[in-house]
């Protein structure tokens, strides 16, 4: 019996199902692999989108992640959770994309339609309601996270949005737990500084 089919002790039913599906996929079962994609594509696309700060490339990078999973399916050993292994692949591809962008920065072109669609200022408009202020705060948080160094950004996203434990983040980033806690501490300090005007209001 292949190692993939037996979940190590302490695994949740979800972990065990991932391992079972990976075992089937390693034997060429494409339907099992499609189930894995369906189970985890939201995690991958969400993580990629938040890391890159745009959704335009998120699906393309996510597709590359699952292509790499398929290519390496026979090499998977369920020592850690499948999602941790999946996020390691995601991390590698996202960091590669960020480095590519830093070497070849793109300047967005402003079209005439952008000017036309920009709302005119209404001097008689009422004060923004709570939902608008909340939206502004969320955009400020997203911008502050996007400005963090890549390792800190990834740690924050995995902790804040994906709700991973310190141990899971450490495995995904190939760091020690203490290093992850240090990354998160520095990131939170930077975020507090970036969001000071919102925190003090």
Those residues with Cβ within 8 angstroms of residue 72's Cβ, 6 or more apart along the chain or in another chain: 89
In this prediction, residue 10 carries a pLDDT of: 60
HSE at residue 44, side-chain half, CA atoms within 13 A, is: 31
How many domains, in total, are found in the chain?
A: 2
**Which residue in this structure is represented by tokens 């985890």?**
40
- Confirm whether 87 is domain-assigned: yes
What is the spatial distance between Cα 35 and Cα 31, in angstroms, rounded to a whole number? 6
The verdict on 148 and 191 lying in the same domain is yes
Dihedral of alpha carbons 179, 159, 187, 107, sign = positive
Residue range of the domain that includes 90:
3-103
**Which residue in this structure is represented by tokens 């190692």?**
3
In this prediction, residue 133 carries a pLDDT of: 64
Instruction: Name the stretches of the chain with pLDDT < 50.
Output: 1-7, 108-128
The verdict on 33 and 91 lying in the same domain is yes
- Confirm whether 186 is domain-assigned: yes
The verdict on 10 and 92 lying in the same domain is yes
- Confirm whether 42 is domain-assigned: yes
What CATH number did the domain enclosing 168 receive? Answer: 1.10.10.10
The verdict on 88 and 161 lying in the same domain is no
- Confirm whether 117 is domain-assigned: no
The verdict on 67 and 25 lying in the same domain is yes
- Confirm whether 62 is domain-assigned: yes
- Confirm whether 53 is domain-assigned: yes
pLDDT, tens digit (0-9, with 9 covering 90-100), for 133-169: 677 888 888 889 989 999 999 999 999 999 999 999 9
The verdict on 99 and 136 lying in the same domain is no
Dihedral of alpha carbons 102, 55, 63, 39, sign = positive
What is the spatial distance between Cα 15 and Cα 118, in angstroms, rounded to a whole number? 47
In this prediction, residue 57 carries a pLDDT of: 78
The verdict on 141 and 94 lying in the same domain is no
């Amino acid at each position: 019996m292949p190692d993939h089919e037996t979940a190590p002790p302490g695994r949740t039913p979800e972990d065990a199902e991932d391992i079972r599906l990976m075992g089937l996929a390693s034997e060429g079962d494409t339907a099992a692999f499609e189930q894995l994609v369906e189970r985890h594509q939201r995690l991958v696309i969400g993580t990629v989108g938040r890391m890159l700060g745009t959704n335009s490339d998120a699906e393309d990078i996510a597709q590359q992640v699952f292509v790499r999973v398929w290519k390496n399916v026979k090499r998977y050993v369920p020592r850690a959770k499948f999602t941790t292994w999946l996020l390691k692949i995601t991390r590698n591809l996202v960091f590669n994309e960020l480095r590519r962008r830093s070497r070849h920065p793109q300047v967005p072109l402003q079209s005439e339609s952008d000017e036309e669609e920009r709302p005119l200022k209404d001097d008689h408009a009422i004060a923004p309601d709570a939902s608008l202020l909340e939206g502004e705060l969320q955009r400020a948080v997203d911008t502050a996270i996007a400005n963090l160094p890549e390792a800190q950004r990834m740690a924050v996203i995995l902790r804040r949005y994906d709700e991973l434990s310190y141990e899971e983040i450490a495995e995904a980033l190939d760091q020690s737990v203490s290093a992850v806690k240090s990354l998160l501490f520095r990131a939170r300090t930077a975020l507090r500084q970036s969001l000071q005007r919102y925190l003090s209001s």
